[in-house]
Amino acid sequence: MSRRILIAGNWKMNKTSAEGAALVKEIVAGLPKGNLPEVLVCPPYLTIPAVVEAAKGSPVAVGAENVHWAASGAYTGEVSTGMLLDAGLTHVIVGHSERRQYFGETDETVNLRSKAAVEAGLVTVICVGETLTERENGETASVIDRQTRKALEGISDYSKVVIAYEPVWAIGTGKTATPDMAQEVHAQIRAILTDIYGETAAESVRILYGGSMKPANAPELLAKKDIDGGLIGGASLKAPDFLALVAAGAAV
């Protein structure tokens, strides 16, 4: 098994162009020497050109936080895969719980967005995760099963797929799933991937953990067999924290 660890920053609605460029430059300057994990930052749409420019020639990849499935047309406020590629992006996040919670994103639209992103050749980080109520009601496994299978419907190129398990109750709350709790869900996702794509393929797909990941808890989480990196919000906004996460990823 040789899955390359992916340390991904989800900046959400934070940082201006100047701030984003400065953050990336600080990250690039502080990258550990030697073997690196894959390093990704996902800034807000408007700041993408400045961040891409700042990351140019460095190992830091840049992605978007969302994407629409249509190539173009009357979809006010949306951005297409072609536009992301045109801006020099290689990655995109799809189906983040904040999109599902605040912007009416459904399993169906997550699937449409994921399919379009994979077909465009973007590395597509598809987020799944249960809410606190769902966990308390013992529905975690069924929610993960439904979200994962629906998101992947019609996607054959698993080489572009990354799954991010983000328990909604752990996002931005300081509450982290324990490494054992996370591993249990990651193993379930791996089993779903095996069911869909077969064992060899499933072994090659990265499954990230997200939800209050920080330098203090990252090593324990990343030590788990099926945790292949992190999707990091809060701790990705400060270079020292993000660099410590990159270092934790390099140490796996």
Instruction: Please name the amino acid found at residue 86.
Output: D
| Element at 230 (helix H, strand E) | strand 229-232
- By CB under 6 A, the residues from 180 to 199 that bind ligand PGA are none
Distance (Å, whole) CA 173 – CA 49: 31
- Which candidate in 68, 91, 96, 186 is catalytic? 96
Name the segment binding ligand PGA (CB under 6 A); options: 42-50, 59-67, 142-150, 206-214.
Answer: 206-214
Specify whether the CB–CB gap between 63 and 90 falls below 8 A.
yes
| Catalytic residue (choose from 65, 98, 130, 166) | 166
Among 27, 79, 7, 76, CA closest to 48: 79
Number of residues in the chain: 252
Binding to ligand PGA by residue 161, rule CB under 6 A? no
Give the Cα separation of 93 and 164 in Å (integer): 9
List the one residue from 5, 6, 10, 115 that touches ligand PGA (CB under 6 A).
10
Interface with ligand PGA, residue 43, by CB under 6 A? no
Q: Which amino acid type is present at position 89?
A: L
Total interface residues for ligand PGA by CB under 6 A: 13
Q: How far is CA 250 from the centre of its chain?
A: 18
Q: Which of 232, 239, 245, 247 binds ligand PGA (CB under 6 A)?
A: 232
Site string for ligand PGA, 162-181 (x = CB under 6 A): ----x----xx---------
Minimum Å gap between C-beta 232 and ligand PGA is 5
Q: Which of 174, 176, 188 is closest to 222 using CA atoms? A: 176
Using the minimum distance from each CB to ligand PGA, give the nearer residue, 98 or 226.
Answer: 98
Residue indicated by tokens 């992947």: 152
| Least distance CB 161 / ligand PGA (angstroms) | 17
Name the residue nearer to ligand PGA (CB basis): 120 or 231. 231
Which value, to the nearest 10 degrees, does the dihedral of the CA atoms of residues 218, 53, 160, 175 take?
Answer: 30
Active site residues: 96, 166
Which residues bind to ligand PGA, rule: CB under 6 A?
A: 10, 166, 171-172, 210-213, 231-235
